[in-house]
Structure 1
Amino acid sequence: MRLAVTAGYWGAGPPAGAAEQFDAAERLGIDQVWTAEAYGSDAWTPLAWYGSRTSRVQLGTAVSQLSARPPATLAMTAMTMDHLTKGRVMLGIGTSNPQVVEGWYGQPYPRPLERTREYVDILRKVIARAEPVSYDGKHYQLPLAGGTGLGKPLRSILHPFRTVIPVYLGAEGPKNVALAAEIADGWLPMFFSPAMNDFYATALAEGFGRPGARHSAATFDVVGGPLGIVPDDDVERAADRLRPALALYIGGMGARGVNFHYEVFARMGYEGQARAIQDHYLAGDKKAAIAAVPTALVEDVALIGPWAKIADEIQRWQETVLTTFLASCDLRLLEKVAGLVR
């Protein structure tokens, strides 16, 4: 099993220790480092800034939001980074949710799977640089339909370092997971739980079985892991470290009825608890929302408690569809966690 770490996205400013995290990944033989974005810090700038300190580890975005950039722009960015890193870029993309897409980017959200398929098609055409790019989709047209009429198909001036850059999809629902298995080179799950492994294995198998699928399970990369790894002899105290993040995503990251993170936990068997968390959060009572996160829910998506408990439970994660273990932990624990996984 490969190993990965994530630098996430920022709040008030660059997080302390971000540079050291990239250094540690390089030093400890970690395979991948991933950055993220929401509606603040972007994924690509820190990947380039801190990634310039590395020479071996692969560098990816988990995820670069699809609506933030036209596909040609994202292809240009990935191609540029691929040259600078000598072929170490992994291109993770995702659709986000209607609140961010329409509220932040001012772009339409409907039919996200269809848009993703077209977007990836164009990305690959631009990166391959086999011919001038033209595309006549429902959501994307190159050249633009109905414009001045002066647009013409173009081919990138930049010759690619690699004509194929691996594409990963961030996905949570079964249809989106199946799409990842069909058209992408990897899947970036969020809030993965070993308890849901059969559910996800079925969704992946559906995608692998479609005509024209790029991969089988043997060659497809699934990058995921616990929400956090928090060693503490007091399990409740460890769970308290992660309850705020879970309450935010279950309760506040998406509108009622259109919160994909909420749906993950509902499918996991926590629909009643997720509804209570969301009710509190949307009513403005964040403390009650945090308190409503059950310890069992935290344990389903995280590794918490004494080291012996963590070492025992980590085996469950290694017996899943995951092929790359994403270690979300304090930097000081990374070497020990890497040892447990290996």
Structure 2
Amino acid sequence: MPVTNSVSAPPTWGVTLPLPGISLGQHRPIVEQLPAIGYTDVWTAEGGGTDAFTPLAATAAWSPSLRVGTGVIPVYTRGPAVIAQTAATLAELAPGPGRVLLGLGSSVPAHVSDINGIPFEAPFKRTRDVLRFVTRALRGEYIGDDFETFTIAGYRMPHPPADPVKVILGALRPAMLRLAFADGNGAITNLLLPGDVPKVLEAVGPQPAGKELIVKVFVCPTTDRHYARASARSFLAWILNQEPYRKFHEWLGNDDLLRTSHAAWEAGDPAGAQRALPDEIVDGLFISGSPEDCREQILRYHVPGVTGIQLYVSLPPEIPRTLESVLDLLRRLGPGSAARSS
């Protein structure tokens, strides 16, 4: 059943930048107004398009209060020390305890091997090793160790950040979720149905104070259901047939709903894989409707234990790419509207 913010402490609310169809340089007036409409965080992701850190550096310059987080960067495509150095540099631009959230993850072979030529090997071990190295490096420790997936001859960060950086993991299944909370500052998870969240929380177990569980929610705020489904199917068929997400939904118990899509994908028929996705999966993983309807669906993800909501907003054609229209849409989707309606 739907859960409102009255059940537990209000979550942080974030939006993924850049918004599709708007150039990064045009985001400054949007970012400057986000705190006024209730948003606390700006997030980025990194695959085959915009890098994760440049939008966050711009956000730190444009807004002195927003938290900035990567959700997530692959642990393969940068060296461990470069990851730590980049996070420390971002923390200089965005000072404040916990204002920078460094989200690390294994990503998927399509982003690691196919476009970067890097073998996608031992993803859990690589993620664990990078998490442990980066956490220690950001504390200013000397590191000269043989990790299981790489060796560090000797490194100490010359100027570790004065304010702690929260290092979290993109985590889907139990082993990664447990690692995220045992060795890191929490997790970010995504592409799950509201009814799947309790299973994730069960795998996490009791959460120490100060750790994060961020849920990323994909939203296409339009009442044109045909458009929303058509625009979501290509992405969902691709991502749900990547091995990490396929195994994630097998663990969640959604495999029966996806079996026909998997078979089409394996047969080299991506169009068939799209068509085979049930509407309930498309509508559940990439929610649509009026902004108010979408907001009610977003709130279903906020249950006790979830500390933050990250929105990925796909702007439909009927929304003008103007400051006033975009801010109005984000206001109607987000925490300000939620608070007024509670």
What band does the TM-score fall into relative to the shorter chain? Answer: 0.7 to 0.9
Report the alpha carbon displacement of residue 177 of structure 1 after superposing the two structures with TM: 1.4
Partner of 2:81: 72
Return the alpha-carbon distance in structure 2 between the equivalents of residues 249 and 314 of structure 1: 21
Q: Secondary structure at the match of 1:228?
A: strand
**CA distance in structure 1 between the partners assigned to 2:42 and 2:171 by the alignment:** 19
Aligned match for 2:151, one of 141, 156, 177: 141
Displacement after TM superposition at 1:223 (Å): 1.4
Report if the CA contact (8 A) 2:291-2:333 is conserved: no
Number of the residue aligned with 1:173: 173
Question: What secondary structure, in the 3-state scheme, does the structure 2 residue paired with 1:141 have?
Answer: coil
Structure 1 residue 51: Cα displacement: 3.6
- Pairing 1:278–2:262 present: yes
Taking a change above 3 Å as real, the CA distance of residues 314 and 76 of structure 1, as seen in their structure-2 partners, is closer
**Whole-Å separation in 1 of the counterparts to 2:182 and 2:333:** 32
The residue type equivalent to 1:7 in the other structure is L
Alignment of 1:84-233 (within 5 A): 84-87=93-96, 88-130=99-141, 132-143=142-153, 153-162=154-163, 164-205=164-205, 208=206, 216=208, 218-232=209-223
Instruction: Decide whether the 8 Å contact of 2:18 with 2:24 is kept in 1.
Output: no
Aligned to 2:229: 239
Asked if 1 retains the 8 angstrom alpha-carbon contact of 2:295 and 2:332, the reply is: no
- TM-aligned CA deviation for residue 101 of structure 1: 3.1
Find the counterpart in structure 1 of residue 72 from structure 2. Answer: 63
Distance 1:57 1:50, change over 3 A: closer
- Distance, in Å, in 2 between the alignment partners of 1:195 and 1:320 is 13
2:59 pairs with 1:47: no
Distance 1:8 1:177 in 2: 27
Pairwise CA distance, 1:248: 2.1
d(CA) in 2 for partners of 1:56 and 1:283? 49
Paired residues of 1:22 and 1:50 also in contact (CA < 8 A): yes
Asked whether the 8 Å contact 1:9–1:35 carries over to 2, the reply is no
Greater relative CO, 1 or 2 (CA 8 Å, sep 6+): 2
Alpha-carbon contact 2:292-2:333 (below 8 Å) kept: no
**Deviation of 1:196 (Å):** 0.9
Deviations along 1:174-193, whole A, 9 cap, x unmatched? Answer: 22112112111121102032
* Distance change >3 Å, CA 24–CA 274, structure 1 → 2: farther
> Percent identity, aligned pairs only?
25
**CA deviation vs aligned residue, 1:19-72 (integer Å, no higher than 9, x gap):** 454234244231111111113432112222344222110111111110111211
The answer (yes or no) to whether the contact 1:9–1:43 under 8 Å persists in 2 is no
**Which position in structure 2 is the counterpart of 1:6?**
16
- Taking the aligned partners of 1:51 and 1:187, their CA distance within structure 2 comes to 22
| Equivalence for 2:8 | none
Gaps of 5+ in 2: 1-10, 316-325
Task: Indicate how the Cα distance of structure 1 residues 225 and 158 shifts in structure 2: closer, same or farther if over 3 A, else same.
Answer: closer
Match of residue 341, structure 1, among 291, 313, 338? 338
Matched residue type, 1:62: G
CA separation of 1:321 and 1:299: change in aligned 2, threshold 3 A: farther
Inter-CA distance 98–86: structure 2 relative to 1 (3 Å threshold): same
Distance 1:279 1:9, change over 3 A: farther
Count of equivalent residues = 314
Residue among 293, 305, 309 paired with 1:321: 305
SS of the counterpart of 1:227? Answer: strand
Contact in 1 for aligned 2:217/2:298 (Cα 8 Å):
no
Query: Measured at CA, do residues 10 and 94 of structure 1 come closer, stay the same or move farther in structure 2, by a change above 3 Å?
Result: farther
Structure 2 match to 1:212: none
Residues 133-178 of structure 1: CA deviation (Å, up to 9, x unaligned): 22222223221xxxxxxxxx3432224232x310010111222112
Q: Secondary structure at the match of 1:136?
A: coil
Q: Is the 8 A contact 2:76 2:112 kept in 1?
A: yes
How far residue 220 of structure 1 moved from its aligned partner, in angstroms, is 2.0
Contact kept, 8 Å, 2:135 with 2:184, in 1: the verdict is no
C-alpha distance in structure 2 between counterparts of 1:29 and 1:116, whole Å: 33
Which consecutive residues of structure 1, in runs of 5 or more, have no partner in the other structure? 144-152, 209-214
Match of 2:17, SS state, is strand
Worse-matched range after superposition: 275-284 or 64-73: 275-284
2:240 counterpart residue number: 250
Contact 1:168-1:185 at 8 Å conserved across structures = yes
Deviation of the 1:260 alpha carbon: 1.5
Q: Hey, what's the Cα distance between the residues in 2 that align with 1:80 and 1:308?
A: 38
